[in-house]
Amino acid sequence: MTTALLSCAGRPVGRYGYRPGSDSRPYLHPVTTLAGTPVTEERPADHLHHLGASVAVPDVAGHNFWGGRTYVRDQGPTELDNHGTQRHLGWKLRDPDGFVEELSWEADGTELLREHRTVAATALSGTAWALDFSFSLTNRGRTDLSIGSPATNGRPGAGYGGFFWRAPKEAAPPAVFSGTLDGEEAVHGRAADWLALAGNGWTLVFAGATDETRRDPWFVRTTEYPGVGSSLAAESRLPVAAGATVVRRVVTVVADGRLDRDAAAAHVRKAVAA
């Protein structure tokens, strides 16, 4: 594993790693609060392909960049030899508080997408910091392609794929709420400017930082496992024409303690402005 440390306000808050030559995607783990509480999980027993905070897509032109089984219409989750690789090409910038990285999304010896990824850590207060994570996916080929999900392949409600954060599983499920709604059933599959996940001594507040990102619905799990993602293809496939680029940016507030709705909203305003 090749790793890079991420720091904020002089404190280590994350580790970014990738395995050259493997089909494991680059990811952040562990990510911690400023007090050192871990807020990501890596390869949990319930989903071995959940890797901290990352960009994971289950269907890029039929290739699996998520891990695990592939959902096949009228067949269900199926083990397929269709896994792609997010290959680290190099750093454009690498500082203690962030980096800019180039990656190639490859399958069957072909580059499907070229990614430009930017990650930055910013202090918000003595108990909170923000992870600014943006990615652009460019189709550098000569033919159009599209991004899908289990939902677009026939599994209702399973529109995951894009920025995804696997949080730690605790004795009790975390609370989840948006600016107006509470609970997994209410927030899952809906677009919202921000979404908060609050566990034992920590809160994560996810916010879309561009108009396109804010239009993407949130994929939310708390009861089965704690995870939040911003869905690229929640209901229909996302086309990426030859030469076109898809850009998304998610800012995540990482806070010590259990924030209420007003505090979460205030942190998001400061984080996005920063």
Q: What are the tens digits of pLDDT across the range 152-176?
A: 999 999 999 999 999 999 999 999 9
> What is residue 1's predicted lDDT score, i.e. its pLDDT?
82
pLDDT in tens, 229-253: 999 999 999 999 999 999 999 999 9
Residue that the structure tokens 């086309």 belong to: 239
Residue that the structure tokens 């910091």 belong to: 129
* Residue 102: closest CA among 93, 113, 115, 118: 115
The residue ranges of the chain whose pLDDT is under 50 are none
Helix H segments across the chain? 184-187, 211-215, 261-273
102 burial via Cβ count (<10 Å: 0-12, 13-18, 19+)? middle
Residue 184 in contact with residue 223, Cβ under 8 Å?
yes
Residue that the structure tokens 């561009």 belong to: 210
Q: Dump the DSSP string for 23-50.
A: SPPPEEEEEB-TT--B---BS-TT-TT-
Give the separation between CA 184 and CA 174, rounded to whole angstroms.
10
Give the separation between CA 240 and CA 232, rounded to whole angstroms.
11
CB under 8 Å to 200, separation ≥6 — which residues? 170, 171, 172
**CA distances from residue 11 to 96, 184, 219, 236, 268 in whole angstroms, order as listed:** 10, 33, 30, 41, 21
CB under 8 Å to 211, separation ≥6 — which residues? none
CA 204, 130, 234, 193 torsion: positive or negative? positive
Residue that the structure tokens 């975390």 belong to: 174
> What is residue 8's predicted lDDT score, i.e. its pLDDT?
98
What percent of the chain stands above pLDDT 90? 96
> What is residue 20's predicted lDDT score, i.e. its pLDDT?
78
- Phi, then psi, of 66 in degrees rounded to 5: -110, -40
What percent of the chain stands above pLDDT 70? 100
